[in-house]
Amino acid sequence: MRSSVRGPLLALAFAPLLASAQEDASPGQGDPRAPAPPEDGVEVERPAELERIKKELARIKQERERLGGQAPPRALGPEVRALGREELSPVLAPRREVVGLRLREAIRLALANNPDYVVQLAAARSAHEGVPQERAAFDPVLSSTATYGRGFVPRDFGSFFGQTQVRSRTLNISTSLALRLQTGTQLTLTHTELRTESTSPISGSKNYLPSLRLDITQPLLRDFGIETNLTPLRLAQNAAFASDATLAETYMAAVLAVEQAYWDLVLAEEQLRAQERSLSSSLKFLDDQRKKLQHGAGTRLEVTIAKAGVATAREAVIAAENGLEAARDQIIRLTSPSTDLADWDRFVVPLDQPLLLESAEQDPAEAIQTALRRRPDYLRAQLDLDSAQRNLSLAENQRLPRLDAIGSFSEEGLGTGHRSAWSSLGSGDNYSWEVGVRVELPLFLRAERARVRAARHDLEGAQAALRALEATVVLEVRGALRDVRTAKARIEAARASRVLAKERLDATRVQVETGTAVPRDVLDDLAELARAETNEVQAFINYRLALSRLALAQGTLLDDWLDELDPRVRAAIERRPLRD
């Protein structure tokens, strides 16, 4: 049916070309089946180009065998005749250094060497430094002040002493220790050592005045309570833990990106191999049509159609070669980025093939629960919600008036020497104390109320974001489970498609020989076979990537790498924050 319909259509479509070919023929050679002249204005044969591709594929096969890599499922196509002319190549420079690369080694190199991931690791380490900064608010603070002074003051002591100038010297050393408790209580213990010397006939020549003072301030409304005072510390801990989750998420994306790039390289190699086979078959078909023309069994139109197929196959080969070069550059960029051009000119040979892996069927409900326990983005959303709740509690506390209970107790000593002064201080006879309250109330509380409203809006946003992420987790896990099953089913379908495409091509060639099909049908089937061969490899790759995307959706993609990564990654995955 295909030949009966397409034959007349192709005859009509190529009628002008056939007429032109007949007109160009020399006198006495009007038969369209006459041999074509040596030069007909359109050249499709490029020997150096095809030889370069064949050498490239042969080198890949040789190096893979030498490095112990897995062989692709099919061998290279048959040899074809050399064609005769050098062409430009997408290869920027010869790749002389051979690097055999397995998937796990590629991932390990990327996690260790890629600066993109080191940036996030540095950010996570920096975020953890915020925790000791906030914890330092409860550290004791020791301070000391020392002053020395001299005075010359005129004084009138009456008729007995007369008016005289009083000369004095003072040395005051004050040391205090301040401590803030998690309840908000402020404690300050102050020791003062005052020494005075004076020429005054009344106060004496030398005095020592030591003292001890304890001041206590206890907030009763604003800044009251352990949770209120620990809020800045809890927020810093949440920020550090969220940064760990971001780091884990970055590494997960890195593993998937490297695996994608690795399989892209494998696929690009297979695409080049398939297109090379297609080009070889197109050239053989062109030779067959020329031989038929020489023996009077074919037409020049059939030769022209065959040459068009060669040109199309050449274009596909060039594009496939460029794709292979780009895939090599991408895997180099991820595994060993460098500005040294020599590092970019490595001949990377993937040693692993996308073979089937044993994987047990997973229950969707169990897979979703695993995702909620392990996904870093869900942990980060939970931390954002907790931080929003704490910010709201703090804002509501700061809206209260300040009411502080204050108290102090001091004991003083006096003497002409250290011993007598400290004996007086320790006697317990010279002391004073006081208690009171301090009140502070902004009249309008405008800023405080605005902060409360903003905190409530932030809390509503965090709650909505968590609900949205939960729905996204369910969607992604269910989709990933379906993708695994679909990819596994498509492997057999793709294999059958490739086998049937080969059988169809063989049958079409027989039909062309018997005259029940046209040459264009062979070219179509050649292109279809090349697509089927590539699609089969793509099906295996899609299956492997589907497994990795399922692990990503569940948060288990890094399970094999936790021992090699920063401990913060394991902490985020297993929900066990590190102690700072």
In angstroms, the CA 81 to CA 178 distance is 92
CB 557 within 8 A of CB 548: yes
Q: Does residue 440 lie within any of the structural domains?
A: no
Nearest to 422 by CA among 212, 214, 213, 210: 210
**Buried residues in 308-340 as b, exposed as e (16+ CB within 10 A):** bbbbbbbebbbebbebbbebbbbbbebbbeeee
In a domain, 538, yes or no: yes
d(CA 190, CA 172): 13
Please report whether residue 353 resides in a domain: yes
- CA pair distance 212, 410, nearest whole angstrom: 5
CA 248 to chain centre: 8
Closest CA to 397 of 184, 130, 154: 184
Using CA atoms, how far apart are residues 350 and 101, in angstroms rounded to an integer?
Answer: 5
Give the residue numbers spanning the domain of 252.
Answer: 93-129+232-385+461-563
| CA atoms of 40 and 303, how far apart (whole Å) | 11
Q: pLDDT (tens digit, 0 to 9) for every residue of the chain, 580 residues total? A: 444 434 443 343 334 433 433 433 333 334 433 444 444 555 666 667 777 778 888 888 888 788 877 666 543 333 333 333 445 667 666 787 888 899 999 999 999 888 888 899 999 999 999 999 999 999 999 999 999 998 777 766 554 555 566 777 899 999 999 999 999 999 999 999 988 887 766 655 788 888 999 999 999 999 999 999 999 999 999 999 999 999 999 999 999 999 999 999 999 998 898 888 888 888 888 888 898 888 888 888 888 988 998 898 888 899 999 999 999 999 999 998 888 888 888 889 999 888 877 777 889 999 999 999 999 999 999 999 999 999 999 999 999 999 999 999 999 888 777 777 777 777 778 889 999 999 998 888 899 999 999 999 999 999 999 999 999 999 999 999 999 999 988 988 999 999 999 999 889 888 888 878 877 788 888 888 888 988 998 999 999 999 999 999 999 999 999 999 999 999 999 988 877 6
Q: How far apart are CA 573 and CA 556, in angstroms?
A: 8
CATH number assigned to the domain comprising residue 125: 1.20.1600.10
C-alpha distances in angstroms, 173 versus 143, 146, 417, 541? Answer: 11, 4, 16, 78
DSSP output for 469-532: HHHHHHHHHHHHHHHHHHHHHHHHHHHHHHHHHHHHHHHHHHHHHHTSS-HHHHHHHHHHHHHH
Closest listed residue to residue 252, CA positions, set 352, 117, 136, 384: 117
Is there a domain that residue 75 lies in? no
Distances in Å between the Cα of 485 and the Cα atoms of 361, 532, 535 are: 9, 21, 17
Do residues 287 and 302 lie in contact, with contact meaning Cβ atoms separated by under 8 Å? no
> Tell me, what amino acid is at 296?
G
Domain count, the chain: 1
Please indicate, yes or no, if residue 332 is contained in any of the structural domains: yes
- DSSP for 310-363, please give it: HHHHHHHHHHHHHHHHHHHHHHHHHHS--S-HHHHTEEEEE-------------
412 domain residue, yes or no? no
Q: In terms of Cα–Cα distance, which of 289, 478, 284, 530 is closest to 371?
A: 478
> What Å distances lie between residue 421 and 21, 170, 194, 337, 494, CA to CA?
128, 16, 10, 75, 100
Read off the tokens for 470. 């939960």
Give 259-276 as a 3 state SS string: HHHHHHHHHHHHHHHHHH
Both tokens assigned to 236: 């810093």
Q: Is 40 a domain residue?
A: no
Say how many Å lie between the first and final Cα of the chain, rounded: 78
- 36 within some domain: no
193-197: long-range pairs with CB below 8 Å, 24+: 194/170, 195/170, 195/171, 196/168, 196/169, 196/170, 197/168, 197/169, 197/170
Cβ-Cβ contacts under 8 Å for 569 (sequence gap 6 or more): 244, 247, 248, 251, 558, 562
Residue 221 dihedral angles phi and psi, to the nearest 5° = -125, -85
